[in-house]
Amino acid sequence: MKILVTGANGYIGSHVVTSLIEKGHHVIACDVVTDNIDSRAQIIKYDIFHSHEHDDMFATLGQPDACLHLAWRDGFVHNSPRQMQDLSSHYTFLTNLVNHGLKQLAVMGTMHEVGYYEGRIDENTPCNPLSLYGISKNALRQSLLLFCSQHDCVLQWLRGFYIFGDDLKNHSIFTKLVEAEQRGTTDFPFTTGKNKYDFISVDELVSQIAAILLQKEIDGIINCCSGQPISLAEAVENFIKQNNFNIKLNYGAFPDRPYDSPCIYGDNTKIQTILTSLNNV
């Protein structure tokens, strides 16, 4: 299978590229910077944010069987103006691929599309995003669902949750803990830690993404998640213990963010169905 991966040099992308290659697939890895991409991939330097609307981007990028769209600027800066400024570029790029022949499109989404919500999220959960990041992802999802339904293209919207692992390349709380430990910091300012999230390692996320791409029967919103809520405090304390860090958490030093839910996690029914089916082949 020939798979185009945009944002291939990024945190998730670099892992996905290697995983797909090792599964025997031809990977076309696209990004503006390419120094972190597996050399076994077909690497193309390409800036999707400065593309030409009337060009055949499908042909330019190798006429793939499927596209995994991970490219996103300022993904960890939830209220960056770029979130909305780039929205039309994402839509133009992806619809251009479909208009010129793409038949399967998988796009990385986020739990932040949902906004403030308590409990388990499935594909029918109402969305009311409270950050520019969530608003832009939600708008892209809604527009692509409509477009792909009218243009004979399977759309798989991969809704991501709290990703950890390979932490020096991430921008999560775990990254900050690693950096603090390396500096010799022992007192770490923290929130109350009571909020519960759905944590998924980047390795497990990559396995789920690959499984989704290798089938077309299950589409629409697919939660990439563990399906289990764990408190932030428990996750961080476990991380500190597993890595033998000397850091102690200073609980309550920072307030909880107003747009973070007390407990939010994904319904993993669809992804587990895909994984089970793949394992039975």
Q: Please tell me the distance from the alpha carbon of residue 176 to that of residue 127, in angstroms, as a whole number.
A: 30
Token couple for 137: 């992802």
DSSP state of 257: P
- Residue type for position 236: V
- Residue type for position 37: I
CB atoms within 10 A of CB 34: 16
Distance between alpha carbon 140 and the CA centroid of its chain, in Å?
14
Strand ranges, E, within the chain: 2-6, 26-31, 42-45, 66-69, 104-110, 119-121, 154-160, 162-164, 187-189, 196-201, 220-224, 229-231, 248-250, 264-266
Catalytic residue among 133, 162, 197, 265: 133
Q: Is 133 annotated in the active site?
A: yes
Are the C-beta atoms of residues 81 and 228 closer than 8 Å to each other?
A: no
CB atoms within 10 A of CB 138: 19
Token couple for 119: 């409990």
Are the C-beta atoms of residues 161 and 224 closer than 8 Å to each other?
A: yes
The DSSP element (H or E) to which 16 belongs, if any, is: helix 11-22
Q: Please tell me the distance from the alpha carbon of residue 123 to that of residue 273, in angstroms, as a whole number.
A: 15
Three-class DSSP category at 149:
helix
Q: Please tell me the distance from the alpha carbon of residue 172 to that of residue 145, in angstroms, as a whole number.
A: 29
Are the C-beta atoms of residues 265 and 199 closer than 8 Å to each other?
A: no
Catalytic residues, which ones? 133
